[in-house]
Amino acid sequence: MAVLWKAVAGGLLFTVCLMGWRVEGQGNNKKEVSGDSIIYLGQERNPWRPLIRTTANLTEISSIKSSFQFRTFDPEGVIFYGDTKNGKDWFVLSLKEGIPLMQISKEDVQVSVTGGPKLNDGKWHTVDLSNHGKFVILEVDSSPGLVVGLHSKQTKEVISGELRLALGGILITKDKMIVQMDPQMDGCIREGRWLNLNIPWVADAEELWLCHQNIRPGSFFAGEGFSIFNTSVFSIDEDQGFKVEFWGDFSQMDGTILSIMSSQEELLGALVANNNTNEIHLTIRKEKHVVKNTLKRLQITFLKYIVKWLIYLDESNEIMFSYGPESTPGNLTTLTEGRFAIGGLLGGGKDMVGSHFLTGCLEKIQVQGKDLDLDSAVKDMSASSHSCPA
């Protein structure tokens, strides 16, 4: 992937290209990235920090057109970034509600433009981006996608200096964005052709995660981490309580699906799939209930005095269990400032250490009746937020 950002008289010239890569050791725990494979953008890190970056001299750049293939189910996130003048002039391409969003800052001009087809359908799309005078043109699958015109009286030709390029993040502070967004992108890039440059990229990771050959919508947990949320960001009232619901093939899961902890660091409940016994275990404090893992949908609701567990063997066949007031007093009070984890068993303390991580795909997650985006987690470890291996 590369972005060329180069000013010309009366306008702006830049070119972007993303590519796949192979990782090779470079010393100091840094990795060199070459352009002959694919890369997964959603790797765990600070969400604004680029996964891949490089620097080039503007004098080495002659091409003004680039192309790449891109695939995602994620509706929002940063794809790539480029700048000159150490970040004074910059460009960002991202998705917002699945649609391409370009943001440009150049001299006294700032531009934000959204347009083109939705790209978060899980299919590979070929994206071409080129400069034509004062216009930047984005094409998707050889069809017109988005055109941005930019002109400033203060624009001066930039023929020397450095061009910084970054993938999956930005190199300026997030408050400079014209349109605020969630930066994390669960997506893959391959077959990039970028400018005329032949320089290495440096990965800010000891090991790069691989892309799955085929994907389907959902949230995939690889048995190495979980996503943590504060309950305080959800509306909890005494009548409706606190409801969490899951869809998926539970027979293919193993590990902790859900754990909930009170504001006093007490583990209130845990939902665990056991692939060895083909069972699903729900533990509420010291009480446990077990069902077979042949269900396709599961709902847990914490009410003022009881906890309801509703399971669906299919869309028309449901079974409900309830836990009474003797075992679960004050559920909503302790939950208001608590936290919950998807994909692991919460530990105590501020470090939120977890264990018994989930392996498997949750096709859909809802909290309080609304879809849960793992990208909004307080802490997210080793989970693909919008895709599962098919």
Question: Residue 386's CB: how many other CB atoms inside 10 A?
Answer: 25
Residue 78 structure tokens: 């940063």
pLDDT at residue 34 in the model: 67
CB 258, CB 243: distance < 8 Å: no
Which of these, 302, 296, 312, 298, lies nearest to 262 by C-alpha position? 302
- Structural domains in the chain plus CATH codes: 2-211 (2.60.120.200), 219-389 (2.60.120.200)
pLDDT at residue 353 in the model: 63
SS3 of 236-248: the string is: CECCCEEEEEEEC
Q: In whole angstroms, what is the distance from residue 181 CA to residue 42 CA?
A: 15
pLDDT at residue 314 in the model: 66
Residue 108 structure tokens: 């006294």
Residue 175 structure tokens: 């408050």
Secondary structure element (H or E) that encloses residue 165, with its range: strand 162-167
pLDDT at residue 331 in the model: 63
Q: In whole angstroms, what is the distance from residue 96 CA to residue 75 CA?
A: 6
Put the strands of the sheet holding 383-384 in their side by side order: 359-362, 219-222, 383-384
pLDDT at residue 180 in the model: 92
For the chain, 390 residues long, the average pLDDT of each consecutive 10-residue run is 34 34 46 74 89 86 82 95 90 94 88 94 92 84 87 65 89 94 92 76 84 94 91 85 93 94 87 93 85 90 84 70 56 81 81 79 95 88 89
pLDDT at residue 120 in the model: 97
Question: Residue 93's CB: how many other CB atoms inside 10 A?
Answer: 22
pLDDT at residue 190 in the model: 87
Residue 205 structure tokens: 């990771």
Residue 334 is classified by DSSP as H
